[in-house]
Structure formats: C-alpha cells, structure tokens
A and B are shown apart, each in its own frame.
Chain A
Amino acid sequence: MFEIGLTHYLVVATLLFVMGIFVMITKRNAIGILIGVEMVLNGANINLVAFNRYNGMSNIDGQITSLFVIVLAAAEAALAVAICMNFYKNLNTVDVDHGDTLAG
C-alpha cells in the first residue's frame, strides 16, 4: 500500500486545470465554458487545501482562501447563468459562435 501525499493531490488539481482549460478552448456552448471555469477553480481549491495541509503550516490561510474561492465561484456562476439566459432570450441559442454581431 502507498500513502496518499501532496503529489497525489497536486496531480488531481493539475488534471482538473488542464481539463478545464481544454473544455474552455473546445466548447462552443457558453454553459460548457463555464463548467470549464469551475473545473479550474476547483483545481485551485485542491491546490490551496493540499499545500496548507502538507507544507506544515500552522495557520489555515489555504483553507480560508479556498472558502473565498467557493463563494466567488458561486457568485460568478449565478451571474453568468443570468447573462446566458439574457443571451438566449435575444438570440435563441447559447452557442458563443453566434455572438458575431460585434467584430472588427
């Protein structure tokens, strides 16, 4: 049996980050892009908590920061979905490629 250490958490966080960036780049659906954003944010959360736990820190800055990140992500998601709704009402789609009126 092997013990779960910092590296394992960092690998998961990095995977989340890479997958999130990949989703942001390839998805054309606005909601899909937002899911990518959430994955990156959760990768950051895992990093923060893991560093705090395994780097032998006496304070809990990392955990507190990750709580802030969760709240920020929630606020952003609420507003983002409202903006997507508004986009849908005007264009009948949430495909970002259809937002091509403004260009140049």
Chain B
Amino acid sequence: MTELIAEIPAWFPKAAEFMTFSPELAWVGTLCLIMLAPLAIGRDARMIAGLAVVGIAVTAFFTLKVMGIISTEGPKTGLTPDLAGGMLIADNLSLFFKMLLLVFLVGISILWMSVSAAQEDDAPEFFVLLIGSALGMSLMVSTHNILMMVIAIEFASLPSYAIVGFNKHKRISAEASLKYMIFGAVSAAVMLYGASLIYGFFGTLDVTQIAANVGPVLAGGGANQLLVGLAMFCVFVGIAFKISAVPFHFWCPDAFQGAKTEVTAWLSVASKAAGLLLLMRLVNVFCVNAGAEVLHGVAVVIAVIATLTCTLGNLAAYKQTSIKRMLAYSSIAHAGYMMAAAAILVDAGTVESFTAISTVLAYVVVYMLMNLGAFGVVALVESKNGDDDSITAFAGLGWTSPALAIPMLFCLVSLVGIPPFAGFITKWYLLAALGEAASGLYWALAIVIVINTLISLWYYMRVVVQMFLKESDKPAIEVPMSGTLLVNACGILLIVILVFSNPLKERADRYSAGLFSPVPTKLADQGSADSLAQSIPLDNIAAPQEGKHGG
C-alpha cells in the first residue's frame, strides 16, 4: 500500500487541487449515477428527475464550498492546478457561472416535470444529455487555452445536438438536430484548423502567451498578418457559433423551433451565456497582454458583429408566426447586445475596472429569468394546445388564464427593456458602460442598441396584443401547479430585481473582479520558440490574482 502511494507521479493533482474541482467531479458523478440509475430504480420519470435534482444540489454544495460561501477555510478563488496553466480555472467568474447554470438546471427540470414528464419514456437519457451539456458549458467558462476551449465547446455541443432531436418521431425535431449538428461540425472543424495555424505561429495554444506574442509576429510582414488574422477569425467562428452571432446564426431559429420548448429555454440562455463569457474571458486576457496596435481591430470586428447580430435578430423576429421562432430571433438580438460589452473590454483591458464583464453577468442573470419565464409559458400553453406554437395560439390568454398571461407579459416587457422590470436595469447598465467608455465607436454601439430596443418593442407587443386584446372562445387551460409557480416566480423576481438592483450590481461587480490571468512570456525576450515552449508551464503560473471574495 505504501509503495503505491510512493509511486504517485509529480504531475498528479494534490488533494487541495482536487477540492478546487470538486464541483466538476460531483457533476460527472451525477451523470454516471443517472446513467446507472435505471438498473436500480427503473425508468420512472419522476424518480430520475428527483435524482437529477439531488445531484445538482450536491454539485451546488461543492461549488459554494469552493466559492468560500459555506466553508470555514475561506475562499479559493483564482486557484488553478500547478501545472495546468490556463487549462482549467476556478476563479470568481467560472464559479459564479457554475452556480447560475445549476440554478437554471433546476428551473428547467421543474418545467420538464410539468410539461413532458408524463409522456416521456427516456427520462434518464434526457437528464444525462442536459446535465452533460451543462458541464461542457461550465468548462467553456473555465479556461483560456484554445485546446481546452475546443474540447469544452464540443462537450457542450454534442449533447445539445442530441437533445434537440429528442422527439425521435417528429419530423421537425429530426430536421432541427441535423441542421444544428451540421453547422456545429463545420464550425468546429474550421475552429480547429484555425487553432492548428495559431499553434504553428506561436508554439502554444495558451491565449495569454499568444496575446503577448501577437505584436512581434504581426510586425513580421503582410503574409503573416493576414494568416494570423485569418487563423484567429477561424477560432472566433467557433465561439460565434455558440453565441449564434450573425452570420453564424442560421442554426439557431431552426434548432430552437424543432426542439422541445424546455430544451429551447435551456439552449437559448445557457449555451449563449457560456459562449459570451468565454468570449469575454478570452478578450480580457488578450487585451491585458497584447499591444494597443492589435486591439483596435479586435474592437471593430466585435462591434460590427454585435451590431449585425442585434439588428438582424430584431428585424427577422418581426415577421415570425411561431412564437418559439420569434423568441429564438429575440435571443439572437440579446446575444448581440451582450456582445457589445465585449467591445468595451478591449479598451477597458488596461483599466482596472471590469465594468464590461460585470454588465454581462448582470444581464445574463436577468436574461435567464426572462427567458425561463417566457419559454415556460410557451411550453405550458403549447402542451395543452397539441404542440401549436403559433402566436395566435395565445389569443385571449389574458382573459382565460391570467396566471400564465401576466408572467408572460412581465417577461416580454422585460425583454424589451422597459421599466418596471429588471430587463430595463441591465440594459441601462450596458448603455452606461458603453457611455463611460467614451469614444465614437461605443457611442455608435449605444445608439444601435437604443434603436434596436425600439424595433423590438413591436414584435414583443404582438404577443401582448394577442393575449389581452383578442377574443377567444377557448376554455381556460389547465396546467400543473409547479409550472405556473415557476413562471410566476420568474415574473415576480423581475420586479424584485428592479426594485433591489443594488445587490445584483454588487454581486456582478464582485464576481467579475479578480479574473485569473497569469503573466505571459514575451517571444522577443526568449530568443527562440524552443525556450518559450519550455518556460510556459513552470515559471508563469503567477500567484492567483487577489479578488474580492464571495460571502
């Protein structure tokens, strides 16, 4: 026994490092448990859902422990295993996102219980795919190494493709998952090719090192400049696919319409938020380390894509007849708003404040509530209407089922960004952050966002008009209590958050501070690529940055 212990190699993680990643370990344990559970407790949907929620709770417990909220040892923010570099990071941002995903998973599970559980034979598979994609998304936010990023994106995507096609016998479901899968596979392939070129130029896939050395490589000449730019754009394509940024958004409405509505709710928030926060993290490390000459181009590319994304999303949403499709385009538009914050980061990289990341965090929290509420009502109405997802199916809902129509109203108005709902305050933070950045580019972005908000008003109001101004002879729809409670809780929380917006802002500020970012080595200082490669893992795992800790 003692011999065994003596043989543990040096690279093997220590117990403390294992503790830092206990949420992931619990997460994987939950997955295995749900996969094996049918052997022991059968395939009953309610039992499996209960087991999944218990697993999520255990994972949340470990996450809070690592965050230092319920542990006596104090916070562990900014930790990373000694030899992992930027491979796996447990800092404020990634832990916060993990908690958000876990809370959202519980919401989706409740929605699933009240909508689909009764006629579902494949509950274990559903939860394995759902929780598996959640793990992939949490890994996306915990890395700034391109290899790990690719693996995490694939880890999040593969279960998503399968879960979109979960209604095996429905034609649109099969079509949606095929389209999602083909777009995903193509963008992943392009991303990997870009990554291979980046490896060729920089001899590493760590974004910190790449950013530090991008200036000298670009100075090398025209061909290098073009190729490096192209390779980076290829990598960006993979992230943009997850965010569904225009012009990589084509999968989004189709996949969202063909999937079950609770899956749509999941993908519309979780996969986009993961992509956005990954983008924020990469842009942040990039901007801290790269020279000013590279940054302007990055800011312009992001600003242009953000503008295109929110404008096209809003314009396309206008003519939709299916409410799921309309909300899909609305989610594209919201991704565009959040992307605008990434453009601020480029300039703020040198500044100490992390306003941009804090803005996106607050936005994501509120966006989760709005979409869970809106898609929740859609799922409940649809389940009683024989899968009819047209906007006209909502006619007269305000008079027949006010318990569903009122939270829907709250969520839609909040999605527009009008007071008295939380969507207003987060949009306000975003505009304020853009205004503070004080340069022509950001003023233009702020104007684009305001104009887009006006456009979006009309299509959200179409649903409200259907609900409250149209007559319907349909009887009131009977929906399960848990579903009604869930959507009403979302609606009420939206008001509560507006009234008490300070705690949200404080937390967003706190969790966006202290991002893990090691000090890179300059290629020029090192002389050759050879010594650069050697020096990366050992010398430069800088002391974790001091962040303010959660409590």
**A interface, size bucket:** 35 or more
Report B335 CB to chain A, min CB distance, Å. Answer: 19
**Pairwise interchain contact B319-A44, C-beta atoms closer than 8 A:** no
**Pairwise interchain contact B185-A58, C-beta atoms closer than 8 A:** no
B174 within 8 Å of A (CB atoms) = yes
B199 within 8 Å of A (CB atoms) = yes
- Chain A neighbourhood of B162, CB < 8 A: 79, 82-83
- Chain A neighbourhood of B325, CB < 8 A: 104
Bound form: Cα–Cα A17–B190 in Å? 9
**Pairwise interchain contact B178-A34, C-beta atoms closer than 8 A:** no
Chain A interface mostly helix, strand, loop or mixed?
helix
> From A72, which residue of chain B is reached at the shortest CB distance?
B154
Report B169 CB to chain A, min CB distance, Å. Answer: 7
Bound form: Cα–Cα A101–B173 in Å? 10
B68 within 8 Å of A (CB atoms) = no
A84 within 8 Å of B (CB atoms) = yes
Contact of B320 among A56, A84, A104 (CB under 8 A): A104
Given contacts A57-B529, A101-B175, contact A44 B181 (CB under 8 A): no
- Chain B neighbourhood of A4, CB < 8 A: none
B186 within 8 Å of A (CB atoms) = yes
- Chain B neighbourhood of A20, CB < 8 A: 189
Q: How many A-B residue pairs have CB under 8 A?
A: 141
Bound form: Cα–Cα A44–B196 in Å? 5
Contact of B161 among A30, A79, A103 (CB under 8 A): A79
Over the window 37-50 of chain A, the binary record of Cβ atoms lying under 8 Å from chain B Cβ atoms (1 yes, 0 no) is 10011011101100
Bound form: Cα–Cα A56–B530 in Å? 6
Bound form: Cα–Cα A104–B204 in Å? 42
> From A103, which residue of chain B is reached at the shortest CB distance?
B254
B150 within 8 Å of A (CB atoms) = yes
**Pairwise interchain contact B158-A75, C-beta atoms closer than 8 A:** yes
**Pairwise interchain contact B203-A43, C-beta atoms closer than 8 A:** no
Contact of A55 among B151, B171, B185, B200 (CB under 8 A): B200
Contact of B178 among A44, A72, A83 (CB under 8 A): A83
**Pairwise interchain contact B179-A37, C-beta atoms closer than 8 A:** no
**Pairwise interchain contact B182-A33, C-beta atoms closer than 8 A:** yes
Given contacts A47-B193, A47-B196, A72-B154, contact A87 B175 (CB under 8 A): yes
**B interface, size bucket:** 35 or more
Within 8 A of A (CB), among B290-309: none
Report A47 CB to chain B, min CB distance, Å. Answer: 4
**Pairwise interchain contact B528-A56, C-beta atoms closer than 8 A:** yes
- Chain B neighbourhood of A44, CB < 8 A: 189, 192-193, 195-196
- Chain B neighbourhood of A102, CB < 8 A: 172, 175-176, 179, 253-254, 257-258
Bound form: Cα–Cα A101–B530 in Å? 54
**Pairwise interchain contact B533-A57, C-beta atoms closer than 8 A:** yes
Bound form: Cα–Cα A36–B182 in Å? 11
- Chain A neighbourhood of B23, CB < 8 A: none
Of B150, B176, B182, B185, chain A has the most CB atoms within 10 Å of the CB of B185
Interface CB pairs A-B, < 8 A, 19: A40-B190, A44-B195, A47-B196, A55-B200, A55-B529, A58-B534, A65-B147, A65-B196, A72-B151, A76-B154, A79-B162, A83-B177, A86-B165, A86-B177, A91-B174, A96-B182, A102-B175, A102-B176, A103-B254
Question: 18 additional contacts, CB 8 Å, given A86-B174, A101-B172?
Answer: A24-B186, A40-B189, A43-B193, A47-B199, A68-B147, A68-B151, A76-B154, A76-B158, A79-B181, A83-B181, A86-B177, A87-B174, A87-B178, A90-B170, A91-B174, A96-B182, A99-B178, A102-B176
Task: List the 10 shortest-distance A-B pairs measured between CB atoms, nearest first.
Answer: A47-B196, A40-B189, A51-B200, A44-B196, A99-B175, A90-B174, A102-B254, A44-B192, A44-B193, A37-B189
